[in-house]
Structure 1
């Protein structure tokens, strides 16, 4: 079964933000529509407001003549618009005017069409200095009158920016005057979509562009902490992850991870100390046992006992070596790998000859300088040579080869290692074939030594007979 791919927090946030913005926009438009439907507001611009205020201030005197009351609204409006003028005419033709009425409007509102309309806006061309005006037929305390008004006598009186808004919305109606929603409903939906779609597209695009950058910047500290966590291994298990740049919501997880690392490190140290102490303690009774066994008379049983004691001693030494690797310290030395391999080959030559092998040494041309801890590398190569002697079949040639790339190879002509077992043989205590000698730690210790030096150990593939194992070490920098 395919493992599900983890979701991206960044894109989850982006999608949810887009949906949230779209929902908020729809809710806002719905509330705005509801408010407008309930309030039925009227948008009044300056000239229209002037006509309304003048109409509310009209009345008649005892003789039935039109008079203008100085109301508070009219007084405040005059202070805001000192150039206010207007012409008022009732149904009987009686007229009242104030202010500097432009010549084009001096004739008043006139008769005919203007007497039958509700309101109208009168404008001129852009380069014409005659001002725009507003006309309205209003029901006032003085009766129904037509009011023609403006806040300017000439466009030259404008001191800044003048904005005139004239918004007229007429809906389809039934013969009885009611709104025909069946006809205007689809049109309103289309208009709403046309108006909202650009806004949604712009908001979505902006979210897609900006949100990933914002989220990426916000999570940069978490990503850096994750990279540091990925670099933790057995050699630097005491490292603690920083929490300075981690988001507050994730900080408890990082603290818990640091505490877990500390507990694991403490447990690992306790286990190492136990194994090291056990290996040390084993060496003394093994030495006593060997001494007593050597005092026995020589016979096959005593010889087997000595071999078993030697095996036990070797196992204790390997356990001690394995624990010492975890506390590897000290400076490295630049050593000629050819000289080191030659010395080890000479040391193991008697053992190889005694076991029935021939030993061959093939050095590289010139020196091969490597930066190593000599004792550890000698231990690794010794384990590889001992492994070749024990598992090489007791015949043929064991070859020690050094090349100029920092590689040291050991070849034998034994039964070899199956390809499916070439990684498992490096596991501690794993043995390909049961033998009365060895403990299954030699290859594991050799690989660990190579890793601590930045090198590798691998079993090579080829059509040759036996096993070819290569220790690769980094060359020393000049």
Structure 2
């Protein structure tokens, strides 16, 4: 089955933010262009503003002579620009002048400037003469030529002067109307040239900053994921923290915590049921054993006793499974040799009764382990009982330990086929369906070993019988 590839939230955000920024910028420019198109504004610089103020003040007196009245607008402009000067000429050559006018502007500008609607007159950067604005304007006194500026010399600039001008001229038809069919491609190219650097800068910034922002925003979620990865059957009651989780993810974490709580409750109910059932079985099994022992010694009564023993052993193993829920704080440091010797002494009568010799081979070195003693005793008991039940009823059962925390239980029976050496650790799995065992002993032993960060495996070799080795971490 092909593994589904999940999408990265980080790169989804990066792509969408870049597209959103580009779309927002484009819409903003379109709206600005539409507003300018509708309003058709004219932006005036200082010199143009001076001409506009003078133009509204041009008039003629009672004798028909050209004059410039001191209107409120012109007076206000003079207050803001005290160095303003201007020249007003009509078609007859009559003129009105005001302010300190540079000599160059007192000359006749010729026919070209006389016919031009408006123009800006400027000089080189090293020339101290100021720029001026000239316009042929329609006034109350008729059409006049107005030349004006806000300063008589560049030395009058207030420290720094910035002039920004932009002229957009659209190609025209012979009748003077604009030819948009030819102009639109050029406008599109200009807009692309202007937008592309901005989009690249914004996109690069987003590409660099968004992953860092996402990682920082989801840092609490990463810690929650790490804690979720540590949840197992022994920590099923754990609840994931939501304090550092983003608000959008918090409902998912809450739902996961509720699911964990429901699973823990169901598991506990299941365990209680098994425990109660096992306890309830022990009483009738004890009664059956007592009554079977009173029967005459016949083959049928012997088989009945074996079956009752099998039931008793199954009930005990079900109770043993409750040991898996013991908390880790109940562990203690013990000498492995003392622990194993007690189990060997307990099972010696049972092994001898079943026809075996029981040997105990201690390690010359003291190996100390930190374990739950009751759990390890039950695991070792299941290994020894397994050897008694499947060892062939003869030979020697050996319990050996070494200084590395290893415990081996050896028998001289038929052994375990190589292809079955993993299956026998599964619950309720038996090599021989008619055997007395319930198929839980090896599974329980493996789970107890795993709880202690240990291992359990079946050794391979040329010796007769089976050798099962359990290894526990030795405390240094």
Query: Please, what TM-score do these two structures have when normalized by structure 1?
Result: 0.90
Aligned ranges for residues 11-30 of structure 1 at < 5 Å? 11-30=11-30
- The residue that corresponds to 1:161 in the other structure is 160
Distance 2:390 2:2 in 1: 42
Q: Aligned-pair distance for 1:213?
A: 1.6
Structure 2 unaligned residues grouped into runs of 5+: none
- The residue that corresponds to 1:102 in the other structure is 102
Structure 1 unaligned residues grouped into runs of 5+: none
Indicate how the Cα distance of structure 1 residues 246 and 329 shifts in structure 2: closer, same or farther if over 3 A, else same. Answer: closer
| 2:119 counterpart SS class | strand
- The residue that corresponds to 1:473 in the other structure is 472
Indicate how the Cα distance of structure 1 residues 205 and 468 shifts in structure 2: closer, same or farther if over 3 A, else same. Answer: farther
Indicate how the Cα distance of structure 1 residues 330 and 161 shifts in structure 2: closer, same or farther if over 3 A, else same. Answer: closer
- The residue that corresponds to 1:247 in the other structure is 246
Distance 1:409 1:27 in 2: 78
- Asked whether the equivalents of residues 357 and 396 of structure 1 are also in contact (C-alpha less than 8 Å), the reply is yes
Distance 1:304 1:62 in 2: 146
Indicate how the Cα distance of structure 1 residues 94 and 311 shifts in structure 2: closer, same or farther if over 3 A, else same. Answer: same
Distance 2:418 2:82 in 1: 103
Q: Aligned-pair distance for 1:342?
A: 4.5
- Asked whether the equivalents of residues 134 and 149 of structure 1 are also in contact (C-alpha less than 8 Å), the reply is yes
Distance 1:470 1:21 in 2: 65
Distance 2:19 2:445 in 1: 59
Distance 2:356 2:137 in 1: 125
Q: Aligned-pair distance for 1:395?
A: 6.0
2:194 pairs with 1:195: yes
Indicate how the Cα distance of structure 1 residues 397 and 172 shifts in structure 2: closer, same or farther if over 3 A, else same. Answer: farther
Distance 1:328 1:165 in 2: 79
Deviation track 1:278-300 (CA, whole Å, cap 9, x = no partner) reads: 22222222222222222222222
Query: Please, what TM-score do these two structures have when normalized by structure 2?
Result: 0.90
Q: Aligned-pair distance for 1:432?
A: 3.4
Indicate how the Cα distance of structure 1 residues 183 and 422 shifts in structure 2: closer, same or farther if over 3 A, else same. Answer: farther
- The residue that corresponds to 2:301 in the other structure is 302
Deviation track 1:118-155 (CA, whole Å, cap 9, x = no partner) reads: 22222334344332222222222222222111112223
Select between 281-290 and 459-468 the one with higher mean Cα deviation. Answer: 459-468
Deviation track 1:408-464 (CA, whole Å, cap 9, x = no partner) reads: 233456555456654443332232331331111111221222122222223456677
- The residue that corresponds to 2:442 in the other structure is 443
Distance 1:277 1:252 in 2: 37
Distance 1:461 1:212 in 2: 53
- Asked whether the equivalents of residues 88 and 109 of structure 1 are also in contact (C-alpha less than 8 Å), the reply is no
- Asked whether the equivalents of residues 85 and 149 of structure 1 are also in contact (C-alpha less than 8 Å), the reply is yes
Distance 2:179 2:464 in 1: 97
Select between 299-308 and 460-469 the one with higher mean Cα deviation. Answer: 460-469
Count residues in correspondence: 476
| 2:56 counterpart SS class | helix
Q: Aligned-pair distance for 1:86?
A: 0.9
- Asked whether the equivalents of residues 365 and 402 of structure 2 are also in contact (C-alpha less than 8 Å), the reply is no
- Asked whether the equivalents of residues 405 and 474 of structure 2 are also in contact (C-alpha less than 8 Å), the reply is yes
- Asked whether the equivalents of residues 424 and 442 of structure 2 are also in contact (C-alpha less than 8 Å), the reply is yes
- Asked whether the equivalents of residues 108 and 148 of structure 1 are also in contact (C-alpha less than 8 Å), the reply is no
Indicate how the Cα distance of structure 1 residues 117 and 360 shifts in structure 2: closer, same or farther if over 3 A, else same. Answer: farther
- Asked whether the equivalents of residues 47 and 150 of structure 1 are also in contact (C-alpha less than 8 Å), the reply is yes
